[in-house]
A = this chain, B = another copy of it.
């Protein structure tokens, strides 16, 4: 069975076999792309989009068309934000070196970033990507617990290294779930969310223990991005943390997607649940596109891991990354982006609720801040309707709005614009979505 993320991509990816109707220039570009990137080349849209420029919440194609970006969460404070760009340019011209020498930018950034974490999360390891962050988190959890079993949600995505791909069921394709990995259902949208999620977790822990594998850690994206975005009720992860602690495992909060203000209630998605994880991993928006990631944990956990092997990352913690990361924190503060995520995200959600009253194709609407999932369902059966999601994505592109999908069935519109998204952008999106749904 083709799994979800691949299914979603299949619904919203360019198919090399369907070149009809594309002009010669684009066909030549696509042929070159195929010849160089081969089977790993995946492009969005039935007719792939060439981008040449980005600014704020906008992206521009080769014909100078302006697109409103509601998909890309890496350029989180806005495409090519001048403050971040100039910080990168200035530091790249001054010094770019690894962490085996002292450099002030990295050390000051570490102090600043760690200031945004609750005790006892006081140590930082810098990496280059969310994948490297999660890979390191798994190694720390194994060293600390002496056990190998990991639990993740059914459509989770945590990255692309061998170890992390093994806990990313949304990348599985026909391949079996590895024995040391147990999948649990994503949180439900309503009812006793905490109770059902925790019951699934406890059963999975018991399964790992019975199999003699042992339970090392629960790894969750704290807003369940790939599973379809589950944010409410705030606090539903607290009993899960308790269950993890009782079993002597670790709680790894993957903040690669929810982190850095997106949920509108502080910098981290886990804060929404009133919990303090054992390990927090970061990536995507950390440097607004400069490749950087990080792992924050308790000093004794990092020390236990380092007894066995140590950790050094050549590019991780270079001063240019630190300058980018520092500038991102500046912009989040100076432009009030967390408050904006809450208020503009709130407007957006209200507008979507109003559309739901109008269109029976809209099912659940969930989210926090500027991270909202909207389910498309069959008018008759209420069943997930991934083809409608795919249709809406392509139709919105024709209206110069970029957006994507998520969820176990690929029927969830993933609404995830840069955090500089303004009320006027929200109004434009809502109007365009209304037009698309009216014409459907």
CB contact between A33 and one of B30, B79, B107, B132 (< 8 Å): that residue: B107
Segment of A165-173, A191-199, A364-372 in the binding face: A165-173
A101–B51 CB distance below 8 A:
yes
Contacts of A44 in B (CB 8 A): 100-101
Query: A35, A36, A130, A321 — which one has the most chain B CB atoms within 10 A of its CB?
Result: A36
Chain A residues 99-151 with CB under 8 Å of chain B are: 99-104, 107, 110-111, 114, 122-125, 128-132, 135-136, 138-139
CB contact between A40 and one of B92, B173, B306 (< 8 Å): that residue: B306
* Alpha-carbon distance A88/B175, docked complex (angstroms): 40
Contacts of A357 in B (CB 8 A): none
* Alpha-carbon distance A172/B308, docked complex (angstroms): 7
Contacts of A427 in B (CB 8 A): none
A314–B284 CB distance below 8 A:
yes
Query: A173, A313, A314 — which one has the most chain B CB atoms within 10 A of its CB?
Result: A314
A173–B291 CB distance below 8 A:
no
CB contact between A308 and one of B74, B173, B321 (< 8 Å): that residue: B173
Closest to A171 in B: B309
Contacts of A98 in B (CB 8 A): 72, 74
Contacts of A18 in B (CB 8 A): none
What is the distance, in angstroms, from A113's C-beta to the closest C-beta of chain B?
Answer: 9
B292–A291 CB distance below 8 A:
yes
User: What is the interface size of chain A, counting residues whose CB is below 8 A from a CB of the partner?
Assistant: 99
Contacts of A124 in B (CB 8 A): 36-37
Q: Which residues in A have some Cβ–Cβ distance to B below 8 Å?
A: 6, 9, 29-30, 32-33, 35-44, 48-54, 59, 72, 74-75, 79-80, 82, 84-85, 88-89, 92-104, 107, 110-111, 114, 122-125, 128-132, 135-136, 138-139, 160-163, 165, 171-175, 283-284, 288-292, 299, 302-303, 305-315, 317-318, 320-321
Extra 6 A-B pairs, beta carbons < 8 Å, given A38-B122, A74-B314: A36-B123, A37-B317, A51-B95, A79-B96, A128-B128, A289-B315
